[in-house]
Every structure is written in C-alpha cells, then in structure tokens.
C-alpha cells in the first residue's frame, strides 16, 4: 500500500501510543519499592522502567508534531498500546534471573495474561517468586482491569484525544446508554470507584486476618488479592489459589467478585448519587444475579448428589467457583479438575456468560445475552406475525437497531474466534503430541478469549500453562489480547477499507 | 364573571354555549366569519384579532376578566396568550387547551404558570378507559377521586344483546341472560326493582322525553338511563344490563397518533392487553418504541385476511383513533362485522357523532366536546369542584360544598322538597356516602347533585 493511499495517520497514532506507553512504563516503580522493602533487588524494575520510558519517548519524539487522533486511528492506538503494555509488563520477568522466566514467550504470556486480567499463568511455583515480582503480577491485573487508556484519560491533563472511540474500545460491553459526561469525567469516576472498592476489600480481608477469623490470611495476601479481585483477574500469590484460605475469606472474595462483575456506572449512581434502587430496576443486573445463583445451584446439586462435597463446603465451593468463572476472575477454592464431567461442562458454559457491561469482566457479558435472546424472540415472532412491529427495550428504553446489529455480530465473532482458537490449540496439541484432551483445548480457548484464567487438564486451576508449546502460547496471547479489546477494534485492522483513504 | 375565550372553533363555541347565560363573554378569533356565526347564535362580544397579541388581550378586557380560556387548536398560541394574560392581570385565572401531553406533564411539575391545562388526547383517553371499564356504558364520569361514578346506559333489546355478545347466542342462552338479575330490575316499578346497593337511578330518557324516576316508573327496553353510585354498583349495573359481557382484557386500537397512543398508555396502566394497528411505518415504529407493553402491527387493518389471521376479531373492544373519520367508520364497521362486540370511534367532526352511533358503532367520542366539558367544569361556580355534562348539555352533575346557612341542612332526605334535582352521593370527610331516606346533610358536606342544566342556578342557590 503506497503512502499516498494510506488512510490512517500513522505518525499521530505512534505519537499517542508513545505517550501512553511512556507513562505506563513508570508502573514498575511500585514493585521496585516493594522489592526494596523485602530486601530484594529493585534492579529489574528500575531497568524495565528505564528501557520502557526511553523506548516510548523515542517513538514519541520520532513522530512528533501531529497531535490529532481521529476515530479511525483510535482502533490502532488501542490495539498497539495493549501489545506494547504487555511488552513493558514482560520486562521485569525477563530481567529477573528466575528459572521460571527463561523463555521470552513465557514472559510475554504472563504479562498479557496480567494486563488482560486473564489470570492464566505459566508459573509453576508461585510461592517461589520474589515478593516484588509477585506484586508486579498482581499490579498488572489491577492496571488492566479498569483499562490503562481509561486511566491515562483520567489522570493525564494533556491527553486530549479525539472522539470517544478510545474509551469505548477499552470499556467492556456495548455502549447502550449514551455517555453524556465528558470523557475525562467518566474516566475519573470509574477509577475513583475502582480504587475505593479495592481499598474496601483490602480493609475487609485485613480485618479477617487480624481478628483471627482466617489464620491463613495476611496483610500481604489481602493487598495481593484485592489487586486481582476487583479487576476480575485471578492471579494469586498462593500455589493453590484460594484453597488455603478459610471459609470467611472465600465468602468475602466471592462477594467482591460479584461486585466487580456489576456495572460500575450503575454502582457509581447507587453509591455516590444515592439511588440504590437503580440496581433493582436494572434488567441486566437482575439477570446477572439470577445466572450466578442458577450456576451455583446446579453445581451444589451435582456435587452433593455425586457425593463429592457436602454441607457448607458444597455450597461454598460451588458458589466461589461458579462466581469466579462467570465473572471471568479465575480463582479456585478447590481443584475442580477432580469434579465430575457434568460439573466441568457447567463451568465451561459459565465461561461464555461473563459479567455486566461496564464491569471489569471479560467474555460475552450478560447484557449481550439478554439482547440476543430478545433479538431471536423478535425474529421468531415476526415469522408468525409478519406485520408485527417491535422495538427491543432494555430497562423500558428502546435500544437502537445499530447497537442490536453490533451485539449480534459480536456474539457471532466471539463464537467464531473461540472455535478457531480451540481448533488451532487442538491441532497444535496433535502436532507436538501433547496430552491435551479436546475438552481441555475447548476450555483453554474459552478461558483465554474470555479472560478467565484456569482451564482443565494440566492447565487446570492448580496447574500451569507452561507445558503448552510456544505456538499454542502465541495463539493464546492473541486470544487474550483480542478478548480484552472485545475483538472488533482488532478485527477492523484486518479489513482493507480500514487502511484506505 | 367576565370570561375571555380565545378561539371560536368547536371547543370555543361549545364552551360559549355552556357558559354564555351566566357570564359576560368575549371571544377572540382571527376568523371573522366564525365570530359572526357565533355572535348570531349567542349574546357574546366578539373581537377579531390574534389571541397571542398583548394589545388584543388588553382590548378584550383581560384586566377585568375572572377567567381566560385559551382553546385554539394551536398549543403555542394558547400558551403565549395565557402567559400574557398572567402578566397583564395575575388574578385572572387561565385555562390552556393543549394537544401535546408534554405540556400537561410540565404543568403538573408546576413549570407552567396557568390554572388548568386540558389535553384533548388525555381527556379522550380517559373517556375511552372509563367506557371500557364499565363495558355496557355509553358514558361515565367519576367524582370524588373515583368513589362516585355517574354512568349512562342504553337498555338493549334482545337483538342488541345478541349482537353485542359477538357470537350468535342461542335462544336459550339469551333467555337465561335476560332472566338472571335483569328480570328483577328491568320492567318492574322502581320501588320493587332490585337495584344494586349504593346506587340510584337519576334519570330515564325515553325517546325525546325525560321520565322522572319516581317509585312507580319502570325501566323499559330501549330506554337510556343515568345511574349515580359507587364503582361496584356501576359494575353491578353493567352486569345486569349486559350480562354477556365480562371485564374487558383485550383491546385493539386502530391508529397510533397522539390520541391512539394516549389511550393505549391509559389502558396498559390498567393491565389491559393492547394491540395497535397503524398503517404508517414511522408511526408504528414510534408506538413500538414508546409502549413496550403494547403489540404493534404495521398494517392498514382493513382487510379480512389480516383481521382473521391476527385474531383481531377476538378482541373484546376496539378503539378507532385514526385521523380520518371515514376510515374510522369503515374500519369500525368491518371489525364489528368480524365479531368485535364493542366499538368506540374517535370522531373529529362533532356533527358525525350521531351518524356513527346510528350506524351501529357503540360509542362515538368527540375530543373537542370532551375538552370543552373539562373547561366548563372549571369555569363553574368556584365552590363547584367538578361538572360533567350528559346528553350533550341537557344534564349537569355538580360537585358542591353545602353552605353552612343552607336551609336543607339537618333535614332527613325523605322530607326534602322535590326540586327536580337528585343528591346522588355525599362526600363526608373525604369518603363517599350514598344517602337513604333517614340520612341528612351536615355542615361541611360535599354533595354530588344530578340536575337538568336549566335548574343549575336554583340548585346552587338552595345549597
């Protein structure tokens, strides 16, 4: 494609990406402080910041001058920023002389899994990691949860990007309600609420630790798990995820996962504007809770009748793992690899549900299921009643037909990408003669595309993604990246008309 | 009282007709020929000019008027006129007619500084819902927050009964229907008839004559009667008069214009299933968008195939609210032929009301007459809370607070003089009481009085 016919302003794109990544590369300074506090070497983090800052600054300088980024460039900015963010995230792993991070693809996988809040890990011995590196893993999830560009929009005064495209590409879920606020105000509100909820969770878990209600919980664990619960990430500092924690902590974490899967804009209105009834009236929220309850109930019945678990333990493990899977967090309170196949299939089904729009969750999301159900219902109705005219309503307001088309195409794309991913993983497993079963390949594709975390088999909740081949890891890196940005911003880059004038 | 009316159209002239006897009226309109016609019929002052002009309003004497009625067909003119009136003379009450329900909402939110906003669409919708709530009624008015209803019924002969039931009734079924409660009421002298409790027969209209309902008179088939009573009593009357009709739960509305949508909204609020048929695509889309609870069809609804396929004929009532009277007439006739038992047409030309009812449409409603009625209610004696007109303006129903010096206080009802007026209900401390012979009026009572229009001044004086 010749330069003259190129319809995308690359200089402006790189300039903005450079700026964003430059500021993001300051993030490793936080784990550097933690490393110093635990008497570890802060060198890998300081070096990562230096390399990232200098590299991004170079990109910014080289493309200096043009500032305007339009809607079209927005897709490329978001896609590239997330690729480079994962590169910054990978640097501390690569620069630490830890045996688990010899392979650069592993480092990049771990960083992408972090920023996209997936929680799939190639680490085989989590508790063997230095504290600085362990906190860096948690922090990448916390930064990626509400969105790194949303954060930049909230705090950088000079960032005046064109259009709402950037924000909308990064915020999960279809934008059904017009955002009436200024972009900056929206971004700030989301982050304020996010920080407040994270702080609250640290406090709750700390209280459990200090009052002795949970002897396994420490302040360090409280911070580490708050950092990966609110973004529905799922990285843990414990080898066996939540298993070692007491029931009180598990219930508390289940509660906060449920909160993280709710719509943040709705929560803002409920808490800060004092309209708690918005929850009761919101159709998506009601369906979200119903599905969580349904998924948990099915698991309780299955586990109880199969004699796997009984009593409070059956209820707790069902709820924690159903909530963790549906909200795309990916913690496990027990090794559900050992559960009956029926329960495993229920968990895979929950992987396709997701949380609410405007939450930190991945996957398809409840509102899309709701709207798709209504679209299908309307199609069937119009087959019988050709003259019927119906608009689809959500919360008693008619939804624009363009949004409905976008929802239908998204679900189709999502299922298509998932199937392609599962196919490639199964194919690669056959090539390298891995012990991956078909259900494991399906779960691995669903878990990475949906930004959930654990799969089944060796990549189960207590296992690791390390045994996958490099090719499979690259496939899953792409799935995580595409899944976090909800496919479309990346997919448009592969259309010819995107690049043309 | 001096009253200034802006607009000499159907609403304006109906208002003038009802009020000109008791008040000094000035009518403003741009159209001189309309004014001339009005001045020939009634003794009113007319003024050619723009009602939204401050000078015209001053010339019409708004400063000394007690009431300004802005009832042209254009909302903006009405609102501007009332705004100027309030500026010139804040003590002059202002009534605004509107065709847009939004102005009504704004007024309820107290953002519009006028004393009454009347929406033709809303009033029409309420009238339709009152009719559907009491299936056999021709017209219903509610008083005292719905505790008292005044209902007008046609006593059908057997043939009419058969027709309204929708499906052919066998002779036996018809007999049974007639036999039920009906035989204890219809055709018997009133003192022997088993009239539902908490209700009174206010008037019997037989052809062109009015029968005063004394104890020895009887209700006959073909009569039209007016009942005052509690809502339960109104339902009971409805069952007696039309035993084959149950509660209406399924209504079809033709036309999704302002009136159609307003009607659909009111019916949906009552839990009635509503289907809307609209021939215009955009209007149909708008209806589907605004009314999540309604089912909307984009169709003319004029072909038998559609009516059969979508089971339009299974509806218990159909409302015709299209813009064109002729279309409403045709569609109503067609739907009735297919078996919908109860049809209500919204008729835009007041003269057509009779044509529709003669042609077999059960009820024809004219939005302008309904609007005028609402305005007249407000214009009456300030003590009067609500006024309804029946049979054109032959009868009025007054809601009056009894003066402490009234001579009627403290006397049992059976000893009160017969003045041709009937006290149908007493509202005492906010609750409706249906009086018997032993009851008596107490100071502070509000009464619902039914009387002929020409007797209104006498009744108001006595109370």
Which of residues A363 and B351 earns the better pLDDT score?
A: A363
Measure in Å the smallest separation between the Cα of B292 and chain A Cα atoms: 7
What confidence score (pLDDT) does residue B170 get? 53
Q: Counting every residue, how long is chain A?
A: 501
Instruction: Give the ipTM.
Output: 0.73
Who among B285, B290, B292 is closest to A389 (CB)?
B285
A389 with B289: Cβ contact below 8 A: no
pTM of the full predicted structure? Answer: 0.76
Helix locations, A327-437, DSSP H: 341-351, 366-384, 401-432
Query: At residue A436, does pLDDT exceed 80?
Result: yes
Candidate from A5-19, A385-399, B102-116 with smallest mean pLDDT: B102-116
* pLDDT tens per residue across span B27-42: 999 999 999 999 999 9
Cβ–Cβ gap A393/B284 under 8 Å? no
Q: What is the DSSP annotation of A71-130?
A: HHHHHHHHHHHHHHHHHHHHHHHHHS--GGG-SHHHHHHHHHHHHTT------S-GGGS-
Q: Which of A265-269, A455-459, B164-168, B381-385 has the lowest mean pLDDT?
A: B164-168
CB-CB under 8 Å, A396 with B288: no
Asked whether the predicted pLDDT for residue A162 surpasses 70, the reply is no
Residue A226 confidence (pLDDT) = 96
Contact B346, B367 (CB under 8 A): yes
Q: What is the DSSP secondary-structure string of B297-353? A: EES---SHHHHHHTTGGG-SEEEE--S-HHHHHHHHHHHHHTT-S-EEEE-SSTTHH
Q: Please report residues of B whose CB lies closer than 8 A to that of A393.
A: 292
Other residues' Cβ atoms within 10 Å of the Cβ of residue A294: 15
- What value does the mean pLDDT take over residues B370-384? 73
pLDDT at B394: 73
pLDDT of residue B177: 55
> For A65-69, A231-235, A478-482, B304-308, which range has the lowest pLDDT when averaged over its residues?
A65-69
> Using a CB-CB distance cutoff of 8 angstroms, which residues of chain A are in contact with residue B295?
388, 390
On chain A, the residues whose CB falls within 8 A of the CB of B299 are 387
Contact call for B297 and A396, based on CB within 8 A = no
pLDDT at B176 over 60: no
Q: Are A73 and A163 in contact (CB under 8 A)?
A: no
CA distance A392 to chain B (A): 8
A96 vs A133: CA distance, rounded Å: 8
Minimal Cα–Cα distance from A409 to chain B, Å? Answer: 23
Give which of B432, B189, B235 is closest to B424, Cα–Cα. Answer: B432
What pLDDT shows up at residue B209? Answer: 78
Residues of B in contact with A398 (CB under 8 A): 288-290, 292
pLDDT of residue A483: 93
Determine the Cα–Cα distance for residues B257 and B100; give it in Å rounded to an integer: 11
Find the mean pLDDT for residues B419-433.
79
Residues of A with CB under 8 A from a CB of B: 385, 387-391, 393, 396, 398
For residue B13, what is the enclosing H or E element?
A: helix B10-19
Number of CB pairs, chain A paired with chain B, less than 8 A apart: 33
Beta bridge partners, B29, equal: B48
8 A C-beta contact, residue A150 and residue A191: yes
pLDDT of residue A397: 86
User: If DSSP codes are grouped into helix, strand and coil, which group holds residue A22?
Assistant: helix
Q: Which residues in chain A touch residue B310, judged by CB atoms under 8 angstroms apart?
A: 385, 387
- The per-residue pLDDT for B271 is 76
Q: Which of A387, A393, A396 lies closest to B297 in CB terms?
A: A387
Are B292 and A393 in contact (CB < 8 Å)?
yes
- Helix (H) or strand (E) holding A389, with range, is strand A388-389
Highest mean pLDDT, choosing among A184-193, A199-208, B239-248, B308-317:
A199-208
Cα–Cα separations (whole angstroms), residue A171 to A6, A289, B2: 28, 21, 65
- The model's confidence at residue A36, banded by pLDDT at 50, 70 and 90, is very high
Q: Answer whether A385 sits within 8 Å of B287, measured CB to CB.
A: no
Who contacts B228 (Cβ-Cβ below 8 Å, separation ≥6)? B148, B149, B150, B199, B200, B202, B397, B422, B424, B425, B448, B450
Contact B77, B51 (CB under 8 A): yes
- Nearest-Cα residue of chain B relative to residue A396: B292
Statement: residue B342 has pLDDT above 90: no
Q: Where is pLDDT greater, at A243 or B457?
A: A243
Among candidates B285, B290, B299 on the partner chain, residue whose Cβ is nearest the Cβ of A387: B299
Contact B78, B105 (CB under 8 A): no
For chain B, which residues lie within 8 Å of any Cβ of chain A, measuring from their own Cβ? Answer: 278, 281, 284-285, 287-290, 292, 295-299, 306, 310
In percent, how much of chain B has pLDDT > 90?
Answer: 27
Q: What is the rounded CA–CA span in Å between residue B390 and residue B18?
A: 12
A153-157, A194-198, B151-155: lowest mean pLDDT where? A153-157
Q: Identify the closest residue of chain B to A393 by CA–CA distance.
A: B292
**Which contiguous run of DSSP H or E holds residue B78?**
helix B75-88
Q: Any idea which of A208-222, A414-428, B148-162, B254-268 has the lowest mean pLDDT?
A: B148-162
Closest CA to B80 of B120, B101, B50: B50
Q: Which residue has the tokens 């059908």?
A: B156
Higher-pLDDT residue of A414 and A74 is A414
Computed over every residue of chain A, the mean pLDDT equals: 89
Q: How confident is the model at residue B396 (pLDDT cuts 50, 70, 90)?
A: confident
Predicted pLDDT at A48: 95
Q: Which two tokens stand for residue A327?
A: 């909200």
Q: Is A118:A324 a contact under the CB 8 Å cutoff?
A: no
Q: Quick one: pLDDT band at residue B165, thresholds 50, 70, 90?
A: very low
What is the nearest CA distance from B305 to chain A, expressed in angstroms? 12
**Extended strands (E) in B207-259:** 209-211, 224-229, 250-254
Residue A43 has pLDDT above 70, yes or no: yes
Give B284's contacts in chain A (Cβ within 8 Å): 389
Answer whether B451's CB lies under 8 Å from B396's CB: yes
CB atoms closer than 10 angstroms to residue A282: 20
pLDDT in tens, B258-296: 899 999 988 887 778 999 999 999 999 999 999 988 999
**pLDDT (tens digit per residue) in A260-287:** 999 988 888 888 777 777 888 889 999 9
DSSP structure class, residue A6: B
Biggest CA-to-CA distance, chain A: 74
**Region A349-363 average pLDDT:** 92
């Amino acid at each position: 494609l010749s330069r003259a016919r190129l319809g995308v302003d690359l200089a402006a794109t790189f300039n903005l990406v450079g700026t964003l990544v430059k500021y993001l590369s300051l993030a490793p300074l936080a784990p550097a402080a933690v490393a110093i506090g635990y008497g570890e070497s802060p060198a890998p983090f300081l070096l990562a910041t230096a390399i990232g800052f200098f590299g991004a600054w170079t990109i910014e300088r080289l493309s200096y001058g043009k500032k305007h980024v339009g809607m079209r460039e927005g897709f490329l900015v978001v896609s590239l920023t997330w690729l480079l963010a994962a590169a910054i995230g990978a640097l501390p792993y690569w620069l630490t002389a830890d045996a688990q991070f010899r392979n650069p693809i592993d480092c990049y996988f771990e960083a992408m899994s972090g920023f996209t809040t997936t929680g799939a890990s190639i680490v085989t011995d989590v508790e063997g990691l230095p504290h600085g590196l362990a906190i860096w893993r948690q922090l990448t999830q916390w930064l990626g949860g509400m969105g790194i560009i949303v954060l930049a929009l909230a705090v950088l005064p000079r960032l005046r990007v064109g259009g709402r495209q950037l924000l909308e590409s990064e915020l999960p879920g279809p934008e059904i309600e017009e955002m009436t606020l200024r972009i900056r105000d929206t971004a700030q509100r989301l982050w304020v609420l996010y920080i407040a909820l994270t702080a609250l969770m640290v406090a709750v878990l700390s209280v459990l630790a200090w009052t002795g209600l949970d002897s396994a919980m420490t302040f360090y664990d409280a911070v580490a798990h708050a950092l990966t619960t609110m973004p529905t990430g799922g990285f843990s500092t414990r080898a066996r995820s939540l298993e070692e924690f007491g029931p009180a902590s598990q219930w508390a974490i289940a509660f906060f996962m449920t909160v993280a899967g709710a719509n943040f804009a709705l929560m803002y209105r409920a808490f800060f504007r004092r309209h708690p009834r918005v929850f009761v009236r919101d159709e998506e929220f009601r369906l979200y809770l119903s599905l969580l309850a349904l998924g948990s109930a099915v698991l309780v019945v299955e586990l109880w009748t199969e004699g796997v678990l009984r009593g409070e333990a059956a209820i707790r493990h069902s709820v924690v793992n159903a909530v963790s899977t549906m909200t795309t967090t990916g913690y496990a309170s027990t090794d559900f690899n050992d559960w009956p196949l029926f329960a495993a299939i229920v968990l895979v089904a929950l992987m396709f549900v997701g949380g609410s729009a405007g939450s930190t969750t991945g996957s398809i999301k409840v509102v899309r299921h709701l709207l798709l159900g209504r679209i299908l219902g309307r199609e069937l109705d119009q087959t019988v009643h050709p003259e019927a005219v119906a608009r689809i309503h959500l919360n008693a307001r008619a939804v624009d037909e363009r949004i409905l088309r976008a929802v239908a195409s998204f679900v189709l794309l999502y299922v298509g990408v998932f199937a392609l991913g599962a196919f490639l993983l199964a194919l690669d497993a056959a090539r390298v003669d891995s012990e991956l079963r078909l259900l494991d390949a399906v779960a691995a594709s669903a878990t990475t595309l949906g930004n959930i975390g654990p799969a089944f088999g060796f990549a189960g909740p207590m296992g690791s993604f390390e045994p996958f081949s490099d090719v499979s890891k690259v496939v899953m890196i792409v799935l995580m990246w595409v899944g976090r940005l909800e496919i479309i911003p990346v997919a448009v880059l592969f259309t010819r008309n995107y690049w043309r004038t | 009282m001096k009253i200034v009316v802006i607009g000499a159209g159907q609403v304006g002239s109906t208002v003038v007709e009802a009020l000109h006897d008791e008040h000094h009226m000035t009518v403003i309109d741009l159209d001189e020929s309309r004014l001339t016609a009005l001045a020939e019929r009634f003794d009113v002052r007319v003024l050619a000019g723009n009602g939204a002009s401050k000078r015209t309003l001053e010339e019409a004497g708004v400063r000394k008027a007690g009431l300004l009625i802005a009832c042209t067909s254009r909302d903006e003119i009405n609102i501007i006129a009332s705004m100027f009136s309030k500026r010139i003379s804040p003590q002059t009450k202002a009534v605004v007619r509107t065709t847009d329900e939004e102005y009504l909402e704004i007024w309820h939110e107290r953002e519009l500084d006028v004393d009454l906003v009347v929406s033709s669409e809303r009033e029409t919708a309420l009238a339709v819902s009152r009719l559907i709530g009491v299936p056999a009624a021709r017209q219903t008015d509610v008083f005292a927050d719905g505790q008292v209803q005044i209902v007008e019924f046609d006593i059908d002969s057997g043939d009419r009964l058969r027709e309204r039931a929708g499906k052919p009734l066998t002779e036996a079924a018809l007999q049974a229907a007639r036999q039920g409660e009906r035989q204890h009421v219809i055709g018997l002298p009133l003192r022997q008839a088993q009239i539902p409790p908490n209700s009174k027969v206010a008037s019997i209209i037989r052809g062109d004559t009015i029968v005063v309902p004394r104890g020895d008179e009887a209700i006959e088939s073909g009569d039209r009667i007016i009942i005052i009573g509690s809502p339960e009593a109104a339902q009971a009357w409805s069952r007696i008069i039309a035993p084959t009709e149950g509660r209406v739960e399924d209504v079809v509305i033709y036309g999704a214009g302002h009136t159609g949508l307003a009607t659909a909204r009111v019916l949906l609020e009552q839990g009635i299933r509503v289907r809307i048929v609209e021939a215009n695509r955009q209007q149909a889309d708008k209806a589907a968008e605004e009314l999540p609870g309604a089912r909307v069809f984009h169709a003319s609804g004029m072909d038998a195939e559609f009516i059969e396929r979508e089971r339009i004929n299974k509806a218990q009532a159909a409302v015709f609210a299209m813009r064109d009277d002729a279309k409403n007439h045709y569609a109503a006739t067609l739907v009735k032929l297919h078996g919908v038992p109860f049809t209500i047409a919204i008729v835009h030309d007041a003269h057509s009301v009779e044509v529709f009812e003669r042609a077999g449409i059960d009820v024809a409603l004219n939005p302008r007459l309904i609007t005028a009625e609402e305005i007249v209610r407000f214009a009456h004696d300030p003590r009067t809370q609500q006024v309804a007109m029946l049979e054109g303006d032959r009868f009025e129903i007054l809601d009056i607070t009894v003066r402490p010096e009234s001579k009627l206080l403290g006397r049992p009802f059976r000893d009160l003089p017969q003045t041709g007026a009937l006290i149908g209900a007493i509202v005492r401390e906010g609750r409706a009481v249906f009086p018997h012979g032993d009851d008596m009026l107490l100071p502070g009572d509000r009464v619902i009085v039914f009387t002929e229009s020409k007797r209104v001044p006498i009744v108001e004086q006595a109370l």
